[in-house]
Chain A
Amino acid sequence: MSVEQVVFLVLAVAAVGSAVGVVISRNIFYSALLLVACLFIVAGFYVLLEAPFLAAVQVLIYVGAIAVLIIFAIMLTERMMSKTVRGWNEQWWIALIVTVCLVAVMLYVVVTANWQVSDAATPSDAIVALGQTLLSTYVLPFEVASVILLMALIGAIIIAREEEPVGVVGEQKEEER
């Protein structure tokens, strides 16, 4: 076995192990931390594939943003000071159905796909090429993605805003005086 294969096996075992840990852990904070570990190891795969940009973005977005958001959500739950923060697993069978479907689709793709193997070396200026492709060939999906994010942002603000009847605000303030 080459060095790459050994590293891949170690990473794969660690990634799958931590992913299983996320699901079976009783403590929801442990689950969150194991998820961080799992996502971090996935970044390791990208480093192994000589895609440093993807690795950095993986850490930045999944560990730095999404995992922190999950921790934020846990932080705001009740009883987080108690010894074990229990997870709620009542809907596990729905999750199971979804997971089985997802695995089936992925297996189908893996088996039927026509994998193209290239011997060419990884380009050193991959970031420049990636940036130019994103803003020329794939500019439409790129922009659509940002519009979707903007919609999510506005939606979150609308939902989180305190319900105030419009138009009465000014009068209320006068009464306060």
Chain B
Amino acid sequence: MEAIQGILEFIDQIFVKLSFWFSAQLANFLPDWGVTFIMMFATVLVLIVFGLASIIWINVFERKIIGRIQDRYGPNRFGPWGLLQCVADMIKLLTKEDVTPTKADRLIFNLAAVAPVIPTFMILAVLPFGRGMVAADLSIGYLYIVAVGCLGTIAIFMAGWSSRNKYALLGGMRTVAQMISYEIPMVLSVVGVLLLVGSLSMVSIVEAQGQWRLPFVVLQPLAFVLYFTAAVAEVNRSPFDLPEGESEIVAGYHTEYSGIKFAMFLLAEYINAFSICAIATTVFLGGWQGPILPSWAWFFIKTYFLYFVLIWMRGTLPRLRVDQLMNFSWKTLVPLALANLMLTALVAKLVPQYSHVGAIAFLVMNVVVIVCIALVKYPRWRRDRREVVLVPRTATPQVDSS
């Protein structure tokens, strides 16, 4: 029994041990600061390579499932089960001609192709991929994610403006409007969880869920739904893909981009979608915690499950209109997030932490909020207003005198 536990422990910590072994090897012939520097560099390299490599399977995974939803096969020509499809795509994108429109603002046009990728990789730095597997456990963890995330807005607007294409500009405008509206519910919904944890660090959030013995999705189901909805809008994925709605404005802000620059936007989009799933996993689904399987396996199982939900939403839901989009954020998500935050603060003061009573109190609070919304939004007592037929005042009613 102990032998099995030892093996499980070893598999669980395999990456941490690998990094210790590597730094020990370096310490043989390098001074301390050299080891620190190379280890930091190696960590960044691992994260970037992981981000780039994950595109390979995320892309095939997404196309296969979208294919199933739309009753077709999806990619199945290149490699077993079409697994190498992404390689073919990349070769195509890399060998395509790189066109810059003559009237475009060259400096910003080229800068904008690189800019959206940087914040996406920066977010990976604070995600705990497993027990002890975090590149930088910042004390401001979640705040850092929010701060870095808002850089993407500017990058996308740079792309839209510098293309000098009306569709690109429209896409850029839509992006700015959408991203600043959905940032608010996205942040507010997580604040409830942060109140329960008492810390912004991503690692403490995971550990607090271990102390509760429950993932926060049980304590804060409403916040989870709000976060996930707002985050999907924040990364411009369907059904909130208005900035690049292809049936309306060609391809939105990246209309004029081709070849490798287009690939960069695609890359940023996929990694962003992965990050929001990873953040939702960390904050609401208990992160890397789970029985038997190694911690990193649990993290990826939960994250890819959420990614599957994203694809599912993309395949099922139609795109929103602009006015619906704004109304949904400001009139539904923001008030709900505020209500959730205030009630969470109240309940967190009243009930003891890490107890069953507390968990039940939070569940009851959420059910109450959800029932209240349902009553306000879809009231049973409210009937449709009757159509009032206005009779002109001058006309006298015709008397039937036959």
User: Which A residues contact B (CB, under 8 angstroms)?
Assistant: 29-30, 33, 36, 52-53, 56-57, 59-60, 63-65, 67-68, 71-72, 75, 80-81, 83, 124-128, 174, 177
Contacts and interface: CB of A to CB of B under 8 A. Distances in A.
Nearest to A82: B164
A56 B122 CA distance: 13
Contacts of A68: 150, 153-154, 157, 176, 180
Given A56-B144, A64-B183, A33 B108 contact: yes
B227 interface: no
5 closest Cβ pairs, A-B complex: A64-B150, A59-B147, A56-B143, A60-B147, A56-B147
B140 interface: yes
Contacts of A72: 176
B138 interface: yes
Range, interface on chain B? 20 to 34
Contact of B151 (A53, A63, A65, A174): A63
Contacts of B108: 29-30, 33
Given A52-B140, A56-B144, A56-B146, 12 more contacts: A29-B161, A33-B108, A59-B148, A60-B143, A60-B147, A60-B150, A63-B154, A67-B154, A68-B154, A68-B157, A80-B161, A81-B164
B176 A71 contact: yes
B143 A57 contact: yes
27 contacts: A33-B108, A33-B154, A33-B158, A52-B138, A52-B140, A52-B144, A56-B147, A57-B143, A59-B147, A59-B148, A63-B147, A63-B154, A64-B147, A64-B150, A67-B154, A68-B150, A68-B157, A71-B176, A75-B157, A75-B173, A80-B169, A81-B164, A83-B105, A83-B164, A124-B139, A128-B198, A177-B390
B200 interface: yes
Nearest to A58: B147
B130 to A, nearest CB: 24
B109 to A, nearest CB: 12
B154 A71 contact: yes
A36 B154 contact: yes
B103 interface: yes
Contact of B150 (A63, A83, A125): A63
Nearest to A60: B147
A131 to B, nearest CB: 10
B150 A127 contact: no
Contact of B200 (A67, A124, A127, A174): A127
Nearest to A85: B161
Contacts of B144: 52, 56
Interface string B101-124: 001010010000000000000000
A90 B267 CA distance: 44
Contact of A81 (B139, B166, B176, B200): B166
Contacts of A75: 157, 161, 172-173, 176
A93 to B, nearest CB: 30
A81 B158 contact: no
Contact of B140 (A63, A64, A71, A127): A127
B139 A127 contact: yes
B179 to A, nearest CB: 8
A72 B166 CA distance: 16
A59 B140 contact: no
Contacts of A177: 390
Nearest to A43: B147
Nearest to B201: A127
Nearest to A175: B390
B151 A60 contact: no
Given A75-B176, A81-B169, A174 B147 contact: no
A81 B170 CA distance: 11
Nearest to A69: B180
B390 A174 contact: yes
A124 B169 CA distance: 45
Contacts of A127: 139-140, 199-200
Contacts of B138: 52
Contacts of B161: 29, 75, 80
Most A CB within 10 A of own CB, among B105, B147, B176: B147
A64 B146 CA distance: 9
Contacts of B158: 33
A64 B151 CA distance: 7
Contacts of A63: 147, 150-151, 154
A53 B147 contact: no
A59 B173 contact: no
A72 B153 CA distance: 11
Contacts of A71: 154, 157, 176
Contacts of B183: 64
A81 B199 CA distance: 45
A128 B144 CA distance: 16
Nearest to A83: B103
B150 A56 contact: no
Contacts of A65: 150, 180
Nearest to B166: A81
B49 to A, nearest CB: 26
Contacts of B154: 33, 36, 63, 67-68, 71
A56 B140 CA distance: 8
A177 to B, nearest CB: 6
